[in-house]
A and B are shown apart, each in its own frame.
Chain A
């Protein structure tokens, strides 16, 4: 038996509140548990399917082919104004999908894990964070398909572009986690927030320059319109991703970037990262205040 190895708290260890946690910091200390939650969430996702994880490649591949035939072959959209429109659209979709999955998954995460939360003590931030990591994992297959399409059209990775992509993902990650945390706990109090999250994510799809080029915004709403349009962190993130993949896939990357991206793309990007990190901090503070009431309301 394990008697000899039996662990004992030291007599001089301080008495602590058994429910105290340090929030997100503690989540990253408990990586083993976080890893298990990520794996089990993904497992139940493809449960009962014959193809299993192959679906995560099939779905985006089919979607990309559809876009390609619809927009580039059939409609021939934007051959001169927006070259490689399918990549323009798909690059945006990769990051928007990451955001909406983090947002919606995070919102449902506490309610979905009710049976664990009402019986066992653990930092509840674990659940929204696990959903974000699952969403991040799911962008992997989409990335693979995006890169294949990009390489086929002459794209080669450049350091500046990769930096833009990373910055875009960092902004999306902190914003997604911030809204995920907030809505997760709000959804426990009023399930209406789940519906609100779904509605908002639909709105997000149209509020970013992927189904239409960014130039269209300035064209229709003027300089001031475009200025306010870019206050949306996801619009900024999509432009950063397009700097990473789309501009490089066109015949004249420099010209495309000059024509289709705002001049202050980078400075805006860093300001957005700061702003979304601040939002994340506020979300964590709100979560810590409200999570006390979660087990009894589930």
Chain B
């Protein structure tokens, strides 16, 4: 099994600016207040992922999951340490894909596909399949501004899943989709995992992580708290305590997969 993702001592810090204008900064300084604050959203994280592994990335809100995925997908660079990958990466980071809201769904489809590395011919070949999967009907040709968050998720997911990626990233992407769509997405994700695509899947639902993943990483305030098996990971998070209700109520799809 060859390595496709290698993260070594990666740290990403953010600076929060409380004031932006010179006047505000001067006033804050004069009163002895802090004008900015730096913290590590991802701190000294190391792990490697082999080809075909399906990793569930878990952790509380604000623990750095999306930031870690931004490092892996190349949207951001680590301040120290290194992140290396092999092959094409596609997926959705944080809720909602990257769209130009002024443009129609169809224009955004082409744009997204091109950004993810698909050629004109490749997009044209898969166009019908993508359109059918997104299932937006006549709204495909209206500006994305008027889309509900669920509709945006459909379009983003439809494009990303049809990129022949080596690494697929799904970051709480489906949290806003309706149940039939979630089910369709899960099925598609299982399919590409079966084909040997490496998967990074963020979810707060133990049921869906159990179904889809064979490894769990847990982030705690930016640090890697756990790296190991699925059951142990879920237990580590104490997410198994109330698992029974979710399981029965949600047949493994989870509250917000």
Report which A residues bind B (CB closer than 8 A): 2-3, 5-9, 11, 13-20, 30, 32-33, 36-37, 40, 43-44, 47, 113, 115-122, 292, 295-296
Contacts and interface: CB of A to CB of B under 8 A. Distances in A.
Given A15-B86, A16-B86, A119 B3 contact: no
B117 to A, nearest CB: 9
A1 to B, nearest CB: 8
B133 to A, nearest CB: 11
Interface in B1-33: 2-4, 6, 14
Contact of B77 (A2, A15, A122, A292): A292
Contacts of A7: 88, 164
Interface string B76-95: 11000011111111001110
Given A113-B100, A116-B99, A32 B119 contact: yes
A40 B4 CA distance: 34
A40 B166 contact: no
A200 to B, nearest CB: 20
A3 to B, nearest CB: 7
26 contacts: A2-B126, A7-B164, A9-B87, A14-B86, A15-B86, A16-B84, A17-B74, A19-B75, A19-B76, A32-B119, A36-B107, A36-B110, A36-B114, A40-B111, A44-B103, A113-B100, A115-B99, A115-B101, A116-B115, A118-B75, A120-B97, A120-B98, A120-B112, A120-B116, A292-B76, A295-B75
A18 B107 contact: no
Interface of B: 2-4, 6, 14, 51, 70, 72-77, 82-89, 92-94, 96-103, 107, 110-112, 114-116, 119-120, 126, 129, 162, 164, 166, 195-196
Contact of B111 (A5, A30, A37, A117): A37
Contacts of A9: 4, 86-88, 166
Given A115-B99, A119-B98, A122-B115, A17 B75 contact: no
Given A11-B2, A43-B107, A16 B85 contact: yes
Nearest to B114: A33
A9 B52 CA distance: 12
Contacts of B84: 15-18
A101 to B, nearest CB: 19
B123 to A, nearest CB: 9
B126 A8 contact: no
B100 A40 contact: yes
Given A43-B103, A121-B75, A33 B115 contact: yes
Given A120-B75, A121-B75, A2 B2 contact: no
A113 B6 CA distance: 30
Residue among A6, A7, A37, A121 with the highest chain B CB neighbour number at 10 A: A121
A2 B4 CA distance: 22
Nearest to A113: B100
Given A5-B164, A120-B116, A292-B77, A17 B82 contact: yes
B115 A120 contact: yes
The 5 closest A-B pairs by CB, nearest first: A9-B87, A18-B74, A119-B98, A121-B74, A19-B74
Nearest to A14: B86
Contacts of B75: 19, 117-121, 295
Given A2-B162, A43-B103, A120-B112, A13 B87 contact: yes
A47 B107 CA distance: 14
A113 B112 CA distance: 13
Contacts of A119: 75, 92-94, 96-98
A115 B108 CA distance: 12
A134 to B, nearest CB: 14
A18 B82 CA distance: 10
B87, B88, B89, B93: most-surrounded residue (chain A CB, <10 A): B87
B89 A18 contact: yes
Contacts of A14: 86
